Amino acid sequence: MRLPTPVACRPSRDGRWKEAAPGGRTAARPRDTPTDLDYLQDQAGRKMDGVTMNLSTSSAQPSLFDEDDASVDVREPVLMSLNPIYFDLIWAGEKRHEFRRRFLTGQSVRWYVYLTAPVSRLGAVIDLGPAVVDTPQRIADIAEQARAGNGASVFEYVQDLPQAFASPIQRVVQYPGMPLDQLKVELGSFHPPQGYTRLRNHPDLLSICDKVTVDSPTREMTVHGH
């Protein structure tokens, strides 16, 4: 039986092993035929593509310090006075907006509440949604929808203005609070605000307000969902 002629291989100038044709001539592989080196290079390329893909995917993940994080509190802190009668109406579900002649627009507010006499105490926090700004009659209509008969008194309060403000009450939290005498000791002097005070402009007063909220709440309630 005649054995088949062995095929010899030898390296070419480019480092690839090529089969030697009968007679000693080297038979070059067709250009589209992969070699072992081609396979290794292809696998290496696939791994690098995988690394690049993973890096691109990870870079798309949100940052832990994303400025748009919903958990970041962007409410504007203000201090305002409130008659205890109206404060009780909130808890009774009959007061769902805070009506003002002048107020902030286009932003949510954290209202630190000073309850006037006979309570005379800084003792609550109310979260307000962005104010509805409209004509006095439209603002009075909002008041009437919440409590029958209240529209007339709100209209009388704002009728001389081109526009008035109705801020939806979202949440109310009551604390043990700080009485007027202690506020005067802590701050040197204290006068209950007639309008609203932007607390970012008064860091000492803001610090006192934050101090009040360290205690556990005595009661809390969601009014308008947000």
Q: What is the pLDDT of residues 52-92, one digit of tens each?
A: 334 333 334 433 334 444 455 689 999 999 999 999 999 99
Looking at the fold, whether 182 and 85 belong to one and the same domain comes out as yes
Q: What value does the mean pLDDT take over residues 146-151?
A: 92
Angle at 45 between CA 40 and CA 49, to 5 degrees: 150
Whole-number pLDDT of residue 99: 98
146 close to 139: Cβ distance less than 8 angstroms: no
Decide if 207 is inside a domain: yes
Q: Which of residues 207 and 11 earns the better pLDDT score? A: 207
| DSSP conformation letters of 123-171 | EEEEEEPPPEEE-HHHHHHHHHHHSTTHHHHHHHHHTTSS-EEEEEEEE
Decide if 47 is inside a domain: no
In the structure, what pLDDT confidence band is assigned to residue 179 with cuts at 50, 70 and 90? very high
Decide if 201 is inside a domain: yes
Answer yes or no: is pLDDT of 188 > 60.
yes
In the structure, what pLDDT confidence band is assigned to residue 45 with cuts at 50, 70 and 90? low
Q: What domain range is 25 assigned to?
A: 8-41
Q: What is the CATH number of the domain that holds 205?
A: 2.30.130.30
Decide if 82 is inside a domain: yes
186 close to 73: Cβ distance less than 8 angstroms: no
Whole-number pLDDT of residue 33: 41
Domain total for the chain? 2
Looking at the fold, whether 31 and 141 belong to one and the same domain comes out as no
Decide if 162 is inside a domain: yes
Assign 50 to helix, strand or coil.
helix
Which of the residue ranges 17-21, 37-41, 50-54, 85-89 has the most confident prediction, judged by mean pLDDT? 85-89
Lowest mean pLDDT among 24-38, 65-79, 138-152, 174-188: 24-38
Answer yes or no: is pLDDT of 104 > 80.
yes
Answer yes or no: is pLDDT of 226 > 60.
no
Looking at the fold, whether 81 and 28 belong to one and the same domain comes out as no
Looking at the fold, whether 142 and 32 belong to one and the same domain comes out as no
Looking at the fold, whether 21 and 82 belong to one and the same domain comes out as no
Tell if the pTM clears 0.85, that is, is over it: no
Decide if 48 is inside a domain: no
Answer yes or no: is pLDDT of 183 > 60.
yes
Q: Which of residues 13 and 67 earns the better pLDDT score? A: 13
Q: What value does the mean pLDDT take over residues 174-202?
A: 96
Distance CA 31, CA 21 (A): 17
Write down the residue that tokens 């004509």 correspond to. Answer: 135
Decide if 114 is inside a domain: yes
Assign 32 to helix, strand or coil.
coil
Looking at the fold, whether 153 and 212 belong to one and the same domain comes out as yes
Strands 17-20 and 9-11: antiparallel
**Mean of all residue pLDDT scores within the chain:** 79
Residues for the chain: how many in total? 226
Decide if 63 is inside a domain: no
Looking at the fold, whether 26 and 132 belong to one and the same domain comes out as no
